[in-house]
């Protein structure tokens, strides 16, 4: 799939992976629209890359999603919907009675999973009407192996992975030309992971892998360490679980 001349909508595009994606899609000749909840960050992104269009919108809010769809319609529509927005709440011990845990889990599910379905449902007819179009869903390395400290986040991403695979097959059965890409990042250096000292992939390298995959019509894009974890988990699941969840994870839960 070629990107030159395409119009891309990137959710969560004002920082991190989304902002880097905006930069690289622009460099490949695409027109870029980004969304986010923080107007200040959107304004800063526009200063960095004046060619982008910004729209303040929260993917977890149904009213915002409807407004976003109408605005994009007025702009002439899109060819690619990149569902990049995601949230990670603070780790909470699942074995403890804590009402905040449920609220955090619901928030992660609303943004990371249900918000993607909402936008896909709104934009699918528009994408079907285009000659060459795509949906990109960002799941995670944790779609293969859950993290003890990120249990509900892992659950939201594996739900999105199953939905992505099913959506892809469903559209193929309908003979639709809409491609459905899945990007599976490892731990990436963003604001979300700023407090962690683990090995991290740069946003630049991650988005390079994404764009290379799109250009080759590689529908499943396992970036960085995700490739190794995918293979290891099929052969040695217990060992792979230990790699994702080192002993320090147990210490945090026990504290």
Please tell me the distance from the alpha carbon of residue 138 to that of residue 185, in angstroms, as a whole number. Answer: 8
pLDDT of residue 56: 97
Categorize the per-residue pLDDT at 92 as very low, low, confident or very high, splitting at 50, 70 and 90. low
Task: Tell me the per-residue pLDDT of 176-207, one tens digit each, with 9 for 90 and over.
Answer: 999 999 999 999 988 777 677 778 899 999 99
Domains, the chain: 7-254 (3.40.50.720)
Q: Are 53 and 75 in contact (CB under 8 A)?
A: yes
10-20: per-residue pLDDT in tens? 999 999 999 99
Per-residue pLDDT at 198: 77
Contact 8, 79 (CB under 8 A): yes
pLDDT band with cut points at 50, 70 and 90 for residue 254: low
38 pLDDT band (50/70/90 cuts)? very high
pLDDT at 93: 57
- Find out whether 86 and 138 touch, Cβ atoms under 8 Å: yes
93 vs 150 pLDDT, higher one:
150
Q: Are 193 and 142 in contact (CB under 8 A)?
A: no
Tokens at 190, concatenated:
């963003």
pTM here is 0.93
Alpha carbons within 13 angstroms on the beta-carbon side of residue 35 total 24
Query: Would residue 144 show up in a list of annotated catalytic residues for this protein?
Result: no
CB 159 within 8 A of CB 115: no
Categorize the per-residue pLDDT at 250 as very low, low, confident or very high, splitting at 50, 70 and 90: low
Report, as an integer, the average pLDDT of 149-170. 96
Catalytic residue among 153, 163, 230, 250: 153
State the average pLDDT over residues 145-159. 93
């Amino acid at each position: 799939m070629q990107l030159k001349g395409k119009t891309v909508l990137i959710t969560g595009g004002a920082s991190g992976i989304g902002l880097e994606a905006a930069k690289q899609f622009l460099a490949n000749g695409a027109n870029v629209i980004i969304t986010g909840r923080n107007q200040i960050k959107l304004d800063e992104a526009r200063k960095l890359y004046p060619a982008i269009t910004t729209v303040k919108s929260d993917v977890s809010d149904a009213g915002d999603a409807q407004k976003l769809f109408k605005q994009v319609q007025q702009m002439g529509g899109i060819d690619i919907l990149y569902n990049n927005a995601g949230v990670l709440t603070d780790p909470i011990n699942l074995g403890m009675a804590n009402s905040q845990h449920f609220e955090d889990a619901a928030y992660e599910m609303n943004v990371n999973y249900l918000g993607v379905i909402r936008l896909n449902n709104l934009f699918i007819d528009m994408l079907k009407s285009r000659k060459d179009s795509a949906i990109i869903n960002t799941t995670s390395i944790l779609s293969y192996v859950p993290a003890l400290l990120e249990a509900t986040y892992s659950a939201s991403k594996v739900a999105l992975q199953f939905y992505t695979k099913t959506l892809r097959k469903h559209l193929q059965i309908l003979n639709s030309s809409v491609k459905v890409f899945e990007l599976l990042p490892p731990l990436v250096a963003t604001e979300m992971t700023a407090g962690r000292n683990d090995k991290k992939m740069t946003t630049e390298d991650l988005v390079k892998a994404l764009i290379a995959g799109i250009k080759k019509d590689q529908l499943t894009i396992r970036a960085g360490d995700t490739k190794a974890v995918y293979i290891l988990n099929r052969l040695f699941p217990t060992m792979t679980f230990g790699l994702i969840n080192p002993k320090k994870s147990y210490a945090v839960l026990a504290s």
